[in-house]
Amino acid sequence: MVTAPDAGRAGPLPVRPLMKPWYRVVHQRDSVTFQYGRSLVVVRGDGVSDLFVRLLPLLDGRRTSEEIDSLFGDAERPSIGIAIRLLNARELLMDGTEVTAKGTENPSIQFLIAALGISVSPDEIASSLAEARLGVLGGSPTADELGTLLAEAGVRVERVEPASDHLPPAGSSLVIACPDPGQPALLGRINEKCLRLGLPWMQILPFDGDTSVIGPLYLPGQTCCYECFRLRRLSNSEFPKSHRLLEATPATFPSAVSLDRTVAGMAALLLLRWFASDHGQLPGWAYTFQLNPTMSLASHRVYRVPRCPKCGPDWPAPAPGSIVSPWDSRGQAGGT
């Protein structure tokens, strides 16, 4: 016998209940345990395992609750109804009507929903990924790796050579700049152009012997810009004059394919989360990946510099209506 769930936690029942397929299920004599990550749900009661053995295969997203009820006898029907409501109250169900091949053929989408708790449907995420237009710039091998990873997840990626006259590429909704250590001027150039166009962009800085930096994602007029990032870095330096000279000087820092792929993978995860749900921890946040003394990833909030010479009070903000970014209409709060 299954007892009723807490009424207060139960949301509306999905039209066609679909058991989240990533939950591990353990049947014992008088209990069933569901587990994914830190989520653990234990249902106890006489005969509960037998009941769930028959119920779970029916929660395939193709039947309504009424159709499932009709497959059981009068004596079992109340327990079936309670069991479905309990699974729903514990957020173990999705709506099968919102899950088509469009959203399920892409393994990255199921991962985003399962691991990141994104509460939109797989089809909505598939649409968001398909609508994204990404321009990837820069000579770092990370650029190619990132482009490949995002393209495999369903994002349209255009690779643009640093010397191209089309910086940033026409039609981009987001630009990613991945300079190699020999391209110190690239980021300033992209910053000015994207500020002028109102176009979001993100940086991935090459490993400099100490760290690789992923982000921030810059939203013109809403978050810090690259110059803000630069000025804040300089203000933290013990030797700002030397730092200024060094940052403007090309270098040949070595990297490794494994490091390039690691950084690209982390950047791709952050971007997929952003495309899928406007996750707030990308605009105005920088992630530093360090190898020493132990391998680690740290996040840092990067605030706008009030009198930034590029995006401060004298910045000629694009006229209303001239913003080319589709993200501005999505209500994203920035790290200002």
Positions touching Zn ion (CB under 5 A) are 225, 227-228, 308, 310-311
Cβ proximity to Zn ion, 99 vs 228, nearer residue: 228
Shortest distance in whole angstroms from residue 134 CB to Zn ion: 23
Shortest distance in whole angstroms from residue 192 CB to Zn ion: 11
| Distance separating alpha carbons of residues 308 and 226, to the nearest angstrom | 10
Q: Do residues 178 and 143 lie in contact, with contact meaning Cβ atoms separated by under 8 Å?
A: yes
- Residue 240: count of CB within 10 angstroms of its CB: 13
Shortest distance in whole angstroms from residue 332 CB to Zn ion: 17
DSSP per residue, 213-281: EEEEEE-TTTS--HHHHHHHHHHT-S-HHHHHHHHTS-------HHHHHHHHHHHHHHHHHHHHH--SS
Which residue, 2, 168, 188, 166, is CA-closest to 88? 2
Cβ proximity to Zn ion, 151 vs 234, nearer residue: 234
Shortest distance in whole angstroms from residue 228 CB to Zn ion: 4
Cβ proximity to Zn ion, 308 vs 323, nearer residue: 308
Q: Do residues 136 and 255 lie in contact, with contact meaning Cβ atoms separated by under 8 Å?
A: no
Q: Is 51 left (phi over 0), alpha (psi -120 to 50) or beta?
A: alpha
- Note if the bond before 293 is cis, omega within 30 degrees: yes
Cβ proximity to Zn ion, 218 vs 327, nearer residue: 218
Cβ proximity to Zn ion, 228 vs 269, nearer residue: 228
Shortest distance in whole angstroms from residue 236 CB to Zn ion: 16
Shortest distance in whole angstroms from residue 280 CB to Zn ion: 19
| Distance separating alpha carbons of residues 232 and 311, to the nearest angstrom | 14
Cβ proximity to Zn ion, 29 vs 307, nearer residue: 307
Closest residue to Zn ion: CB criterion: 308
